[in-house]
Chain A
Amino acid sequence: MKLREVAYSRSGDKGDISNVCVFTYDDGHWDTLRRELTVDRVRDKFGDLVKGDIVRYELPGTKGLNFVMTEALAGGVSRSLRADPHGKAYQSLILDIDVDFGTAP
């Protein structure tokens, strides 16, 4: 299934760094989210959009993950020539990742 069926997301920008956070609708899916949404899977999906590192942070209180991607915005909003210089659409791209949440939702 696609991540979008079980989770939601938001992307933000600071300079050339993009962060994309992901939360599951059901807090009970927290462990599955941590198992399924690895840095490797995110890197596969984003490919050459991200030239730098991808670091995954956990938010155990809100049961979320935050992916911080460097050199991810072609120079950042003010210098990039991209159509979406903020990476606002990254929050949608991450939800296209294939994940296995068993029988959920």
Chain B
Amino acid sequence: MTKTVKIGSGSAYSTDRLDWAQELADSGLVNYMAFDCLAERTMALAHVRRLADETKGQDERIPELMDRFAGYLSRGGKMVGNFGAANPSAAADDVVRGLRSNDVSGVRVGVIHGDDVLDHVLDQDLELPEMGVTAGQIAEQVVSANAYIGADPIVELLDEGAQFILGGRIADPSLYLAPIAYEMGWELDDWEKMGTATLAAHLLECGTHGTGGNYVDPPYRNLDIVHLGFPIAEVTEDEVIITKLDGTDGAVNIGTTKTQLAYEIHDPGSYLTPDSTADFTNVTVEEVGPDRVRVLGATGRPRPDTLKVLVGVDQGWKVVTEISYGGPGCLDRAQLATEIVAKRLEPFQESIDEVRYDLHGVTALFEGQLPGGAPSEVRLRIAARCDDRATADVVAFESQYLWMGPAGGGGVSTQMAPAIGVTPALIPREDVKIVTEVIDQ
């Protein structure tokens, strides 16, 4: 009989919903659920939480996760996720606590440490090409550095019998690739197979984005997407099938699959992950049943010698204020408001790193590249990044003072938050020391 591994997607970002993921787990259709919890900025924000409280910095959904997935784990289901974020040890504590509170025993928890390379990045004064500086030149601002790590430690822990595996900045596709490789008995240096496993992983890693969520565009692409299903991959020696739970909305069709295939890849002949250099150039997508597609034709070459590192950089404070204008002349009044605020902020420009003025409905998304007609209402958006909180408060105050003119401004809102930027760097693979730990609960 043909060996098949069935793996479900459970999360695509740090606050993704868990209810629909639980539906998939409870369906009994999959043996594995993998959860990507980290977007580019999530790690840096998690480090900020950890700096404030050393028991924080992990995924904040773990208590809910454990309540929802206790049944699945009791039935022997396996879970892999980068729930650790900036604090894998604290995440492991939360997982153990959740297992106990749900009376689940006999679960071996695998923990992956070592993606945190902050000391190394500073010691080696790594280049930060997108910012045009080295880490050392902005050392006081560098708050975090995490390497995207691959499938090796996950496979190792599965081999040791771990049922729940977590780590920090495990790369999104590696969370899926590892169980596929382990179950299929594919060696991690079988590059052609790694290309296939990367393809399956890539089609799962964005959760409900891949099952129609980011596809609907009436009247050309209509789908019900109220209650989406998370995607499932069924992988055999010969093919990858992508599908979803029966009875859920959304779709798995040629269009949803092709757009997910090319999502966030650059050269389709060289999709770089910690596990392979995958080649999707000749991948084909074929519908073989309702919400069921077959993808074939991925290949791969050896994995890169370097790992990508995301370096978190403290950039002061970010403030965003909005105010609406409507009716005749609204555009003129919004533009006048822009000029007034710019003048009032002139005395503070030394402490304002960047400020921009956009008009929702006119220039906010495309900066005027897509001209429209005269709007009946506009919303002025003033966004600034400031050296310190005091200056950000000034920007907020001066923006809010538009209450007092030009005429008819209403609906003021303000958001204020620390500005944590992330920027990429590269690090030799051997400089990232991965350590695994097993906890029997």
> Which A positions have Cβ atoms within 8 angstroms of B?
4-5, 8-10, 12-17, 19, 21, 23, 25, 45-49, 57-62, 64, 66, 68, 75-79, 81-84, 89, 92-93, 96
Contacts and interface: CB of A to CB of B under 8 A. Distances in A.
A93 B422 contact: no
A8 B220 contact: yes
Given A23-B259, A81-B318, A81-B383, A10 B214 contact: yes
Contact of A89 (B255, B320, B358, B366): B366
Interface in B41-58: 41, 44
Determine the main DSSP class of A at the interface with B: mixed
Contact of B421 (A14, A19, A57, A75): A75
B367 A13 contact: no
A73 B262 CA distance: 18
Interface residues of B, number: 55
A61 B283 contact: yes
A23 B367 contact: no
A8 B268 contact: no
A25 B263 CA distance: 17
B152 to A, nearest CB: 23
A74 to B, nearest CB: 8
Nearest to A17: B266
Interface string B352-392: 00111010100011110110000000000101110000000
A19 B258 contact: no
A67 B195 CA distance: 22
A59 B283 contact: yes
Given A64-B258, A93-B369, 7 more contacts: A23-B259, A48-B367, A49-B366, A66-B268, A77-B39, A81-B318, A83-B383
B282 A61 contact: yes
B130 A62 contact: no
Q: Which 7 A-B pairs have the closest CB atoms?
A: A21-B262, A12-B264, A10-B259, A79-B421, A81-B383, A61-B282, A83-B364
B221 interface: yes
Contacts of B40: 13-15, 76-78
A49 B369 contact: yes
18 contacts: A8-B217, A8-B220, A14-B264, A17-B266, A19-B262, A19-B263, A19-B265, A45-B369, A47-B369, A58-B268, A76-B130, A77-B40, A79-B315, A81-B354, A83-B364, A83-B365, A84-B365, A89-B366
A77 B281 contact: no
A19 B272 CA distance: 15
Nearest to A59: B268
A75 to B, nearest CB: 7
A57 B268 contact: yes
Contacts of B137: none
Nearest to B420: A78
Nearest to B319: A81
Contacts of A78: 40-41, 44, 420-422
B44 A23 contact: no
A10 B423 CA distance: 23
Given A19-B262, A60-B281, A81 B130 contact: no
